[in-house]
């Protein structure tokens, strides 16, 4: 069976506090974007578990991959046959686009179908939360206002269909823990949900990502990417998550890839 895990962008991101267990709380609107990996899982012909990757190479041990962890997590509760997994990686890592989280969540959905587990959406989100904070979002895979650790969802009215998006990721990897350490949590003056309810033309300068200030100070080249996207005609541009990818939302498609020769560049329609 084959699925196509997609990435997400953050429309605004406010770090609102820090809980006693050390986790930060936040508010953000998470919006799915059709930049996809490819995930195939079949019952293993050899009877042995296998995991293979192609495309962008993820550093580290394959046992740490969220797809592998998803299979092992479900196998604890269900009598699953051995599977053969292939992951074609297209979504860049260390970008704030949630590609790894998407892979893990889509693996849960694919295994649910492959083995007829009849898991409800809530149950799949429960398993996904064990993989990571962003993972539950990708189970329903629709725009939401995320609170808490990013896994408490509230419906939000935002529709960007028909707009074009460009995603630019420089060869910079942002350490999420370090990025959080540079932020002083605060409640935004205007709630993200209220800003999102306004026309997109009104978001610039109001809809903020708290990570941008410290990241731009340490990596001014990322700030320049955002500036170039606005110069090219974006109606709204922002860093996604803790970076390092920056996206621009446009009313019309424009050719700007030549401005980012040393970066990963992707463009599509929302």
Helix, strand or coil for residue 165? strand
Cα distance between residue 62 and residue 82, in whole Å: 16
Which positions are annotated as active-site residues?
Answer: 8, 134
Radius of gyration of the CA atoms of the chain, in A: 19
Cα distance between residue 166 and residue 249, in whole Å: 7
**Within the chain, how many helices (H) and strands (E) appear?**
8, 12
Reading the block at residue 99, the tokens are 């590609």
Say if residues 29 and 158 touch (Cβ distance below 8 Å).
yes
Torsional sign, CA 156, 245, 2, 85 = negative
Reading the block at residue 203, the tokens are 């978001």
Beta-bridge mates of residue 146: 28, 153
φ/ψ of residue 38, rounded to 5: -125, 125
Please enumerate, as own/partner, the contacts of 218-225 that have beta carbons within 8 Å and a separation of 24 or more.
219/170, 219/172, 219/174, 219/243, 219/244, 221/170, 221/172, 222/170, 222/172, 222/246, 225/168, 225/170, 225/260, 225/263
């Amino acid at each position: 069976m084959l699925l196509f895990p997609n990435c997400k962008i953050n429309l605004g991101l406010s770090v609102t506090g820090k809980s006693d267990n050390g986790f930060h709380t936040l508010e953000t609107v998470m919006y799915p974007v059709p930049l996809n990996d490819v995930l195939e899982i079949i019952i293993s012909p050899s009877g042995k578990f296998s995991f293979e990757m192609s495309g962008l190479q993820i550093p580290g041990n394959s046992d740490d991959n969220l797809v592998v962890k998803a299979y092992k997590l479900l196998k604890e509760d269900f009598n699953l046959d051995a599977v053969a997994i292939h992951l074609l990686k297209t979504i860049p890592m260390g970008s704030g686009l949630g590609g790894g989280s998407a892979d893990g969540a889509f693996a849960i959905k694919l295994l649910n179908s492959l083995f007829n587990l009849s898991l409800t959406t809530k149950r799949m989100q429960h398993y996904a939360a064990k993989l990571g904070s962003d993972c539950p979002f990708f189970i329903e895979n629709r725009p939401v206002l995320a609170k808490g650790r990013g896994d408490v969802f509230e419906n939000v009215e935002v529709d960007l269909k028909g707009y074009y998006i460009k995603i630019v990721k420089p060869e910079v990897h942002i350490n999420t823990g370090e990025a959080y350490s540079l932020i002083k949590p605060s409640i935004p003056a205007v709630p993200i949900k209220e800003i999102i309810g306004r026309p997109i033309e009104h978001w610039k300068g109001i809809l903020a990502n708290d990570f941008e200030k410290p990241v731009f100070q340490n990596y001014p080249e990322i700030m320049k990417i955002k500036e170039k996207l606005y110069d090219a005609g974006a109606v709204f541009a922002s860093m996604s998550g803790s970076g390092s990818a920056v996206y621009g939302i446009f009313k019309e498609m424009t050719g700007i890839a030549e401005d980012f020769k040393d970066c990963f560049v992707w463009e599509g329609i929302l």
